[in-house]
Amino acid sequence: MRRVGIVGAGITPCKSHWMERTYYGLSQMAVKACLEDAATSVKDVDAVVYGIYNDIFELAAIPEHPLHGIIGMTNKPGMRVTNGGATGAYAMLAAYTFIASGLYDTVLALGVERATDCFDFESMTETPEVIKTIGWSADTFFERELGWTASDSYAEVVLAYMDDHPGDLKPEVSARIAEILCQQAKNNAFAQRRDEVVTAEMAMSSRYVVYPFKLLEMCVYSEGAGAVLFASEDKAKAIARNAGLPVVWVTGLGASNEHHVAGPDYKTHKYMGRIWSDHIASHKAYEMAGVKDPLEEIQVVELHDAFIKQLQITMGEMGFVPIGKTDALIEEEIMTPGGKLLVNPSGGLTFGGHFVGGSNMFSCWSARRELIQRQLERGLVHGTGSTVAQYGVAMVLERSE
């Protein structure tokens, strides 16, 4: 298996609604930014993997087909990936695999999403139609017909975890994490909620959307695009020399999809009090990268945090804090400013932006930026998705000298 590196990344600003850009235009913006970052041309890209979550959002059954020519990939291979909230991470996994297998030398992973073209003419707003459209991701015969939404799906997992660990996920800890992410988003020029001010007190007093999720402790929907350029070792080194930036190597990858039906044994069903997909994916990535102690060996984490309490559980599943004691993230000052670990310096999905098909490209862009600018050694990028947090992907990144 060949060595694979990241040599370029670019994203658009994250917005609640891009009035002036179609998803075609957003894709062009992200690809242009990525290729400029790598100081290379689309002519030197061998293949592309598209991360687009939702056909209905884009009002097209094959939303990737009009993108291929307008980003300059005519007559080259392109493939679309859709895996719910983990779409971007799985698209990057596919791009990595194309290169590691020896099939191609340079592969672009492009994630894009628009959501608000779905419009509800009864309420004259986008929100009801967007929620209904996401509902089509659920199990057709049971979940969707019971009124499934993404929020209550993840709430099921968190509530089951709270039943198992009643002393964890204290409200003041989750609120403090929201405050930290809000502050960190101010260092990200592309963050959707960059200008917001959210304190722990404000988060604590905000209304419940779905118990136990409060309004200021969960993401808002975004539109945007992100692109990441992967390359084989020789190509990566040549592109990096030309761009004047170090290669960020992908040294570990792991992925896992759980069952969607609840049951007592995670090996045969979905054990609701855990996110085993995150645990398995991260530990597979650690094994591949030779990471023994993630808290000691990894300096920056960009993880999928659609909900703050899910962030805490995921950090436990990935081994940064013990399961059942995730409040240690704050109580032991692990992710507080100046703490041991930099967690979601972009503001995360909560304050940075969550354009589902490309959210994990957004996370990868941020982790790579931090590794290079702060001269850190190792980072971890994570994506999760689908109902009850079924899908998990983890990717270990290492900066070259």
Structure token pair of residue 304: 């999928």
Q: How confident is the model at residue 319, as a pLDDT?
A: 98
47-51 β-sheet, strand order: 78-81, 47-51, 106-113, 224-232, 4-11, 248-257, 391-399, 378-385, 300-302, 342-343
In Å, how far are 111, 256, 392 from 253, measured between CA atoms?
Answer: 19, 11, 11
* 262-289 mean pLDDT: 96
What tens digit of pLDDT does each residue of 34-49 get? 999 999 999 999 999 9
Question: Whole-number mean pLDDT of the chain?
Answer: 95
Q: How confident is the model at residue 360, as a pLDDT?
A: 98
The SS3 of residue 49 is strand
* 367-383 mean pLDDT: 98
- At residue 220 the predicted structure's pLDDT band, cuts being 50, 70 and 90, is confident
Q: How far apart are CA 43 and CA 33, in angstroms?
A: 15
Domains contained in the chain, CATH given: 4-118+221-242 (3.40.47.10)
Q: How far apart are CA 65 and CA 159, in angstroms?
A: 41
Residues 291 and 139 sit within 8 Å (Cβ to Cβ): no
Q: What is the pTM of this model?
A: 0.96
Higher pLDDT, 327 or 152: 327
Residue whose entry in the numeric block shows the structure tokens 């004691």: 325
For residue 265, give the amino acid letter.
Answer: D
In Å, how far are 9, 109, 343, 392 from 277, measured between CA atoms?
Answer: 26, 22, 20, 5
* 378-385 mean pLDDT: 97
Structure token pair of residue 78: 């392109």
Burial status of residue 367 (CB atoms within 10 A of its CB: 0-12, 13-18, 19 or more): buried
What tens digit of pLDDT does each residue of 156-198 get? 999 999 999 999 999 999 999 999 999 999 999 999 999 999 9
Q: How far apart are CA 317 and CA 258, in angstroms?
A: 14
- For 319-349, b/e burial (b = at least 16 CB within 10 A) is bbbebbebbbbbeeebbbeeeebbbbbbbbb
Strands annotated E in 45-151: 47-51, 78-81, 106-113
